[in-house]
Amino acid sequence: MSTVLQFPVKPISEPQQEACKPKQVATMEDGYTRIPNALLEAIMYHDFTKRQQKILLAVARKTLGYGKDSDWVSGSQLEEKTRLPETRARAIVRELVSMNVLFKSGREIGINMDLENWKTDQHQNSPVKSKTVPKNSTVLDSQAVPKQSHTKETLQNIKDKTPNAYALVAHVPEPVTVDQQPAEQKPAPKKPAPNTKPADPAFEQAWSAYPKREGSNPKNKALECWRARLAEGVSPEDMLAGVQRYAVFVTAKGDLGTGFVMQAKRFFGTSREFENDWAIAAPRAPKRADGRIGYVDSGFDQMNYGETEIPDWARD
C-alpha cells in the first residue's frame, strides 16, 4: 500500500499576483489612431472637463481609429471605454453636441473638424467672483484686552470698550472689490460669425439628382468632398455625369430609397465612385411559371428522342 504525502499549499499573496501579471507596454505595432495635430491641440487648449475629455477620446477611438468620420457609438461602448455610467455618458454626448464639438447624423456621431465653430465658452466661461474685503473692518486682537480678573467692574469696562464680535458679523459694511477687475465691466465682444462659403450651383444640381437613400446622408460632408475633388482638378461636369449614371443604375436595380444607396460623401470621396461606369448587367433569367426553383422550361418534353429498345434479357 503506497503512502501519499500531502503538503500544505500556501496561497499566493496579492503583491505576488500583481508581479506575475504581464506588464502592458504600448507599441505602434499593436495599432494606433491617426488624430490631426490641430484637433489634439484644440482638445488640450479648451477647458473641457475630465469626463468630456474621456468621451471625446472615446469617440475619436471609435471613429478615427477605424478611418471613419462618424459611426454609431452606443452608450454601452462609451461606458466600456470610459467607465462612466451609460446615462451619464449619453448626457455628456448631448453637451458636446450642443457645443458643436461633436456632430450627430442620425444614429452616428463624430468629431466636428471645423474647430472655429466649437462653442466651448457657453459652458465653461462663468462669471468670476471677485475677492471682497469689508471696508474698515475691525479685527479683534486677543492681545488688545489685558488679562484681568473677572469682576463686575472689569467686565463692564471690557463690555464698554471692546466691540462685540457678534455685532461685527451682523453689521458688516458694504464690501468693496479688490483691483482685480474694472469697476465697469464691459460686455464680452461677440464672436464673429464663421465665414460661410457661397453655395455651389453645380453641387446643388448634383445633390438634387443624387438618388435618395434610407438612413443618414449628410450634405455638409458631401459638399466638403465635392470641394476637395474640385481642388484636385476634377471638373463638376464629370462628377455630375457620374451622379446621373449612378441614379440610373440604382433605379434599374430597384435599390432606390433603400440603405443600399451609398452615402454621397463616399461617392465624392477619395475612392472617386463617380468615375465608375455603373453599367447594368444582363437581366436574370425569368422565373418559372410553376413556381419551382431552376431555369425556365426549354421544351425538352416536346422533343422526339426516338423509341427506346428493351433488350431481350430485360423482357419477360
Task: Name the segment(s) of the chain with CATH classification 1.10.10.10.
Answer: 34-116
Of 225, 213, 207, 280, the residue nearest 248 (C-alpha):
280
Query: Whole-angstrom Cα distance, residue 248 to residue 251?
Result: 5
Of 262, 269, 161, the residue nearest 215 (C-alpha):
262
- The Cβ-side half-sphere exposure at 95, using a 13 Å CA radius, reads 18
The mean predicted confidence, pLDDT, of the chain is: 77
Whole-number CA gyration radius for the chain: 39
Assign domain 34-116 to its CATH architecture.
Orthogonal Bundle (1.10)
pTM of this prediction? Answer: 0.36
pLDDT of residue 309: 77
Window from 20-34, 137-151, 175-189, 233-247 with minimum mean pLDDT: 137-151
Ramachandran quadrant class, 188 (left: phi over 0; alpha: psi -120 to 50; beta: rest): beta
Query: Whole-angstrom Cα distance, residue 70 to residue 109?
Result: 5
In this structure, what C-alpha cell is assigned to residue 138?
Answer: 475691525
Of 296, 292, 284, the residue nearest 254 (C-alpha):
284
Query: Whole-angstrom Cα distance, residue 109 to residue 161?
Result: 71
Of 253, 200, 260, the residue nearest 229 (C-alpha):
200
Per residue in 15-69, pLDDT (tens digit) is 766 666 677 788 888 888 989 999 999 999 999 999 999 999 999 999 999 999 9
Query: Whole-angstrom Cα distance, residue 243 to residue 14?
Result: 64
